Amino acid sequence: MKDCRITAMLALLLVCTLFTGLVALTAGAAYAAAPEIEFTELERQYIASRGPVEVLCCEEWSPLMFKGEEGEPAGVLADMAELISAKSGLEFSYKWAPSNAAALDAVQSGHSDVKCGMVSGGNVHELSAYFTRHYLVLELMLVGGPGVAEGERRIGTVSRYSGYDVIHGDNVEYVYFQSSEECFKALDRGEVDEIIVNSFASGFYHSQTKYGSYMYTPLQGESSSICMAVRGDDKLLCSILDKAILAIDNGERNSIIVKNTLEAGNSLIALLNRIPTVTVIIIFAVFIGSLLVATMFVSRYMRKTREAKEAIERANKRLITDELTGLLNERGFASLARETLEMFPDQKWFIVDFDIDCFEHFNAAKGFTRGNAILRAIAEVTRNACIYPGELCARVYADHFVCIATAQSTDQLRERALAGNAAFRSATGNLSILLNYGIYEIADLTEDVSIMCDRALSAKRTVKGSYGNIIGIYDEELHRQQIEDSELVAYMETALNNGEFVAYYQPKYDIQSEKIAGAEALARWKHPKGDITPPDRFIKLFEKNGLIDKLDMYILEVVCKKLREQIDAGLRAVPVSVNFSRNHLYDDGFVHQLTSTLERYDIAPSCIEVEFTETTFFENGQRLVSVIEALHNAGLLVSIDDFGSGFSSLNMLKDIKFDIVKLDRGFLDVTTTSQRGKTVISSVLSLARELRLSTVAEGVETREQLEFLRENGCDMVQGFFFSGPVPAEEYDRILAGERV
């Protein structure tokens, strides 16, 4: 009868266990797609990119941890580690260490990631490692014979790392052992009077007949708190494990303890034998009925919670993620970079800005689909081969990427950049594409992230177009130049109001008659003391901050005023070309503002030539076509400046209806020094004639160049052979027939 009752109770226990598992499975399914833990985006990226975490185990923790039948970690600590792994989303790879001390040394030196099983408190603050919050608290037990003699007491306990020496006194002597098992053996041999072990170990050994006769006394207020030790250079890992531990509820923790207690041979069956069968059946029936009702409500609640969390997760991810590459966007980078710096203030951090050299020309030649594929390839290589766990990378816009990285030195980071460049070229089939990098070592962690990125960008700009060096470093000289730039920008509005910007005019000569046929207006910054700041010092700077738009319109106003003065004075007036930044392409009011200025001074549209640089034609082809059409409708001529300075495309000559082609001076220098070069420029001039485009050659300095251009049908020339840029008064004298 007794055996039948045991069998019945075990059967009911099995049914209950299976049903409980079913409920857990249902709840687990509801939670599967909705993480219980609110990891930060930085932590989620770490989890996604992190490989297996090496966790060291030690048999000195027996019976809390021991080797299973196949050598795998088993016991309470092993099961808790598996639960933490599941909660965190990190994969744990277990390895046995010869001792507690060896395991701790490996973690402190960075050779392993985590030590499984570490008693918090004691001297842990002196160790070079992080420690998680505790995930298991066990009471301490004093175990000994019924009559411990007065006088000196020898107490055995585990090693000093465990902090179990909690009884103090002049007559107390501690003897340290490597494990709880050794403590019990020493007690049995009479080597110590008493031992202090945790409650789990005492329960385990108490069930063995050999140690059943000893007295087991709880030490009130004394407990052992178990945590994990984490390598000292990976605070992010410790933060993730902490959140996983916080997500463990008492039910999960208790089920692990009960499971291991049963496996260790606790007498639960003996306890069941003392309870009437009918009582057990009633309890289980009530329990199962309650679970049935609860399951319906829990499942419904879980599903709605999951759906809400999924929607929030998707929305949050879209806010900080670049759709094309899957990297962070500018907003996400600024937020997470700040979080990273605040979390790891003791590390040396750098901002790395990089892009593809002349990517706009690649897009123009190969198309945007191919260009986007290249951007995705860069993102993939960067994500998998260039950034380490805890570092961040974002695509800010177009081909512009930025990373926050840690390294021992700038040289080390330079090597990483070169390796990344090589990996990218390999991944894309060794395309003849170069990446340019700018590196800024963060000196002030409280500085705004946007300022850090600007400094890395400034460093990158110093190597643009320099094929011998693709990595620029932000240094003191660059910092000084940035301060000067800031001062120039701050003073520009005042300079405009004071009339400090003036137009210099460089005449264009008809190549056949060698008479002035037009001129180009060039901006100069003339300070009150007479000093002149050359345009290469401020034009690009103003393009960056948008002040160039005001300057362009200011110079147009100056030119219109000069033309009106010439016309009113009965002097000869020729068409003047005015340079306009690419920024104007995106200003819907550009053409109206331009024509309004001409009307205000009563200047015919044929007197003004709108000039864009060659690179503008690669920015946004469709937008450019519509702007040129509007300019033509207003009666204005459009020219392309610096043709041949970059990656000029014959398709551009065919597809975009501008009126005048200006050959860049550098193009002329190179092409007229060899027969092959002469053939090239001759072909360009011939094609321009076929397309009925006027041609202007810049940088003509010799009679030989002039004669070559004349022979090949160039329309106008501009250069120091005739005249360089001159002030307005001198230009008037030239127009009047005087030569410089």
Rama region for 293: left / alpha / beta (φ>0; ψ in -120 to 50; rest): alpha
| CA proximity to 546, closest of 586, 578, 506 | 586
Count CA atoms within 13 Å of residue 145 on its CB side: 13
**What count of other Cβ atoms lies within 10 Å of the Cβ of residue 446?**
8
Cβ pair 600, 545 in contact under 8 A: no
All residues at 6 or more sequence positions from 78 whose CB lies less than 8 Å from its CB, including other chains: 57, 65, 72, 94, 116
The structure tokens listed for 243 are: 């959140």
d(CA 719, CA 697): 8
The burial of 284, by beta-carbon neighbours within 10 Å (0-12 exposed, 13-18 middle, 19 or more buried), is given as middle
Please tell me the distance from the alpha carbon of residue 451 to that of residue 456, in angstroms, as a whole number: 9
CA distances from 146 to 149, 204, 214, 217, 623 (A): 10, 20, 7, 11, 96
Does an H or E element contain 351, and which? strand 349-356
Residue 419 zone, left/alpha/beta (φ > 0; ψ -120 to 50; rest): alpha
What tokens were used for 398? 């177009």
* Distance separating alpha carbons of residues 459 and 452, to the nearest angstrom: 11
Q: Is 698 a catalytic residue?
A: yes
Pick the catalytic residue: 43, 380, 698, 704?
698
**Cβ pair 2, 9 in contact under 8 A:** no
The residue to which tokens 């030590």 are assigned: 115
Distance, in Å, from the CA atom of 610 to the CA atom of 659, rounded to the nearest integer, reads 10
Q: Which residues are catalytic?
A: 698
